[in-house]
């Protein structure tokens, strides 16, 4: 191993490192800095720490220097980042993420546009004001192009279905364990009452309770805020609707937006359901609004992404747009990474841009995550790590990203690489991903600590992947 280049000095270069961790169970006894060869890579360092910990079962570890994952040898890392090998380098070690393995797939009759999870760790339960803490068996909610909502238990059984939408459902979410919100091509936001058995193995029901009219065109995505009972809808009519699930909070629906009665279509069922209008319509985007999310820390603030290339910040108390960030491509998805204080937005140009929405930010894009080969249409934050997120794309994959995994680009741009690629289980055995994601596009993704990474797509499947602990 020493004979590869003549230029290398015979004696291996060494560097003093100080190993630390924030996980109590893998703490090293305080040893002070240790001297290691600079040619060490992640794997050798992991072996070294495991030996020092005297673990019986090795714990795979990742190493961070200045908040960046070590992806090369120590030597290359220090050179690339201009760190002198003469100083003591602080090296933080963390448990390596376990590859999210396929757990189950639930088959649908048509394309799956959106997914959500109800579990003890889901926001719909954690953010409830009532302190009731029953142990619910997890449920998975899916919205499909066949116009139906389905609620599944973890044994691949449909425990409730919702039929009221007159065409494809594009978004569905749990507002609380008993309230489901959905929207789609029929321009309505619908509120449903979810009756369920706590065991998760008995049939429950989904009954429509409210029909909300305000949009003039298809609704592409929803955001819900459990504590304030607020709902946001991103529509291709260029506006964002602000709604509540409480009938009495909402004004009457505009007559002109209600569906034209058609004798041949039975509306008897739907007509029993009260119809209401929005609390407010947020206007300012110049093209379709693709996605919307609440600020994770301030429920009066929301963010939206649009085909008009912009990300907008909204003050929900005044319904005013308070900030606009312009990028150079159509934006298809958005998610707020609360601890990093960044917005992740998925683009038509196949990457994810990380945008700092704070007024003081000087650059448009704080970082770019590259790897997808088609539009990035859905994003979700890792519920357990402030550094990680998952994306779904029309390329037929979901990708897990870690903001600490940075690839040193040629220019000044900070580029991140995905740490895991989740393929469709339905495409298993194929050597090559189909061109244009044909047949495997992934439309929606959700990340729950209990259930794992749940995604739905063109393969008519809800797919669950989970990394081990």
Partner 1 sequence: NIDPESLLPKLPDPNELRPFPSICTAMFKGHDGRIRSLNIDPQGRYLATGGDDGTVRVWELQTGKQLRRLRLSSSEAVNQVSWQPSRETCIIAACCGENVQFIIPQGDICNPQQDRRSREVLDSGFGYATSNPSKTAAGVDKPSSANWLRPSTTLQDKGVLLTLTLRSTPKTLAWHRRGDYFSTVSPSTAATSTAVAIHTLSKHQTQHPFRRLKGLAQTVCFHPSKPLFFVATRQRVRVYDLQQQRLEKELQPGAQWISDISLHPLGSNLLVSSYDKRLLWHDLDLAATPYKTLRYHSKAIRSVKFHPSLPLFVDGSDDGTLQVFHGNVMGDSLENATVVPLKVLRGHKVVKNLGVLDVEWHPREAWCALSGYM
For partner 1, the binding residue among 145, 174, 243, 314 (CB under 8 A) is: 145
For partner 1, the binding residue among 78, 164, 168, 172 (CB under 8 A) is: 168
What is d(CA 229, CA 249) in angstroms, rounded to the nearest whole number?
11
Do 307 and 221 meet the contact criterion of CB atoms below 8 Å apart? no
Residue 392 in the binding site for partner 1 (CB under 8 A)? no
Burial call 295-328: b when 16+ CB within 10 Å, e when fewer:
beeebebbbbbbbbbbbbbbebeeeebebebebe
Q: Which three-class secondary structure string do you get for 171-192? A: EEEEEECCEEEEEECCCCEEEE
Question: Please, which residue, 226 or 288, has the CB nearer to partner 1?
Answer: 288
Residue 216 in the binding site for partner 1 (CB under 8 A)? yes
Residues in a beta bridge with 457? 442
What is d(CA 60, CA 98) in angstroms, rounded to the nearest whole number?
9
Question: Please, which residue, 132 or 264, has the CB nearer to partner 1?
Answer: 264
Residue 87 in the binding site for partner 1 (CB under 8 A)? no
Residue 186 in the binding site for partner 1 (CB under 8 A)? yes
- With CB under 8 A as the contact rule, which of the stretches 48-56, 75-83, 179-187, 315-323 interacts with partner 1? 179-187
Do 395 and 407 meet the contact criterion of CB atoms below 8 Å apart? no
What is d(CA 360, CA 357) in angstroms, rounded to the nearest whole number?
8
Question: Please, which residue, 62 or 237, has the CB nearer to partner 1?
Answer: 237
| Binding residue count for partner 1, defined by CB under 8 A | 38
- With CB under 8 A as the contact rule, which of the stretches 58-66, 245-253, 254-262, 417-425 interacts with partner 1? 254-262
Residue 373 in the binding site for partner 1 (CB under 8 A)? yes
Question: Please, which residue, 77 or 145, has the CB nearer to partner 1?
Answer: 145
Do 28 and 19 meet the contact criterion of CB atoms below 8 Å apart? yes
Residue 431 in the binding site for partner 1 (CB under 8 A)? no
Do 439 and 424 meet the contact criterion of CB atoms below 8 Å apart? no
What is d(CA 59, CA 367) in angstroms, rounded to the nearest whole number?
30
Residue 252 in the binding site for partner 1 (CB under 8 A)? no
- With CB under 8 A as the contact rule, which of the stretches 71-79, 202-210, 266-274, 370-378 interacts with partner 1? 370-378
For partner 1, the binding residue among 124, 185, 289, 301 (CB under 8 A) is: 185
Residue 288 in the binding site for partner 1 (CB under 8 A)? yes
Residue 333 in the binding site for partner 1 (CB under 8 A)? no
Residue 21 in the binding site for partner 1 (CB under 8 A)? no
Sheet bearing 61-65, strands edge to edge: 34-37, 14-20, 88-95, 61-65, 68-69
Residue 436 in the binding site for partner 1 (CB under 8 A)? yes
Residue 105 in the binding site for partner 1 (CB under 8 A)? no
Residue 410 in the binding site for partner 1 (CB under 8 A)? no
The torsion angle over the Cα atoms of residues 335, 285, 192 and 187, rounded to 10 degrees, is -140
Do 222 and 233 meet the contact criterion of CB atoms below 8 Å apart? yes
Residue 96 in the binding site for partner 1 (CB under 8 A)? no
User: Could you tell me the smallest distance in angstroms from the CB atom of residue 158 to partner 1?
Assistant: 22
In this structure, what DSSP letter does residue 389 have? Answer: E
Residue 449 in the binding site for partner 1 (CB under 8 A)? no
Residue 167 in the binding site for partner 1 (CB under 8 A)? yes
Do 227 and 299 meet the contact criterion of CB atoms below 8 Å apart? yes
Residues in a beta bridge with 221? 234
Question: Please, which residue, 219 or 337, has the CB nearer to partner 1?
Answer: 219
Q: Which residues bind partner 1 (CB under 8 A)?
A: 111, 145, 166-168, 185-187, 216-218, 236, 256-260, 264, 287-288, 307, 328-330, 332, 348-349, 373-375, 394, 435-438, 441, 443, 458
């Amino acid at each position: 191993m020493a004979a590869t280049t003549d230029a290398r000095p015979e004696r291996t270069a060494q560097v003093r490192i100080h190993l630390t961790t924030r996980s109590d169970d893998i703490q090293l006894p305080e040893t002070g800095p240790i001297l290691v060869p600079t040619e060490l890579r992640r794997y050798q360092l992991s072996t070294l720490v495991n030996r020092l910990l005297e673990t019986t079962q090795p714990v795979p570890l990742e190493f961070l220097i200045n908040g960046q994952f070590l992806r090369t040898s120590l030597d290359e890392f220090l050179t690339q980042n201009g760190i002198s090998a003469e100083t003591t380098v602080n090296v933080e070690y963390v448990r390596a993420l376990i590859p999210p393995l396929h757990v189950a797939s639930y088959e649908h009759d048509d394309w799956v546009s959106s997914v959500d999870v109800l579990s003890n760790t889901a926001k719909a339960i954690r953010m409830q004001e009532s302190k009731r803490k029953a142990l619910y068996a997890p449920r998975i909610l899916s919205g499909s192009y066949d116009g139906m909502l389905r609620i599944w238990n973890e044994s691949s059984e449909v425990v409730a279905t919702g039929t009221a939408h007159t065409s494809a459902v594009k978004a569905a979410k749990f507002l609380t364990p008993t309230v489901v919100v959905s929207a789609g091509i029929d321009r309505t936001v619908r509120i449903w009452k979810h009756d369920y058995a706590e065991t998760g193995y008995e049939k429950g029901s989904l009954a429509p309770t409210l029909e909300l009219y305000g949009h003039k065109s298809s609704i592409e995505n929803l955001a819900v805020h459990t504590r304030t009972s607020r709902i946001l809808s991103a529509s291709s009519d260029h506006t964002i609707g602000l709604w509540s699930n409480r009938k009495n909070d909402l004004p009457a629906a505009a007559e002109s937006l209600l569906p034209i009665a058609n004798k041949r279509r039975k509306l008897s069922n739907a007509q029993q359901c009260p119809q209401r209008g929005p609390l407010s319509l947020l206007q300012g985007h110049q093209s379709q609004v693709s996605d919307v999310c609440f600020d994770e820390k301030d429920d009066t603030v929301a963010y939206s992404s649009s085909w008009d290339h912009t990300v907008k910040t909204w003050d929900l108390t005044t319904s005013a747009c308070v900030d606009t960030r312009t990028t150079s491509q159509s934006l298809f998805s958005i998610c707020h990474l609360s601890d990093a204080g960044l917005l992740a937005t998925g683009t038509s140009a196949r990457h994810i841009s990380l945008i700092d929405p704070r007024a003081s930010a000087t650059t448009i894009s704080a970082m770019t995550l590259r790897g997808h080969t088609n539009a990035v249409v859905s994003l979700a934050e890792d519920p357990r790590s402030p550094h990680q997120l998952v994306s779904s794309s029309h390329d037929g994959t979901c990708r897990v990203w870690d903001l600490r995994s940075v690839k040193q680009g040629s220019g000044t741009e900070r580029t991140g690489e995905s740490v895991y690629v989740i393929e469709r289980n339905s495409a298993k055995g194929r050597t090559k991903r189909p061109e244009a994601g044909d047949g495997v596009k992934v439309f929606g993704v959700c990340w729950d600590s209990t259930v794992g990474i749940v995604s739905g797509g063109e393969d008519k499947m809800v797919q669950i992947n989970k990394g081990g602990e």
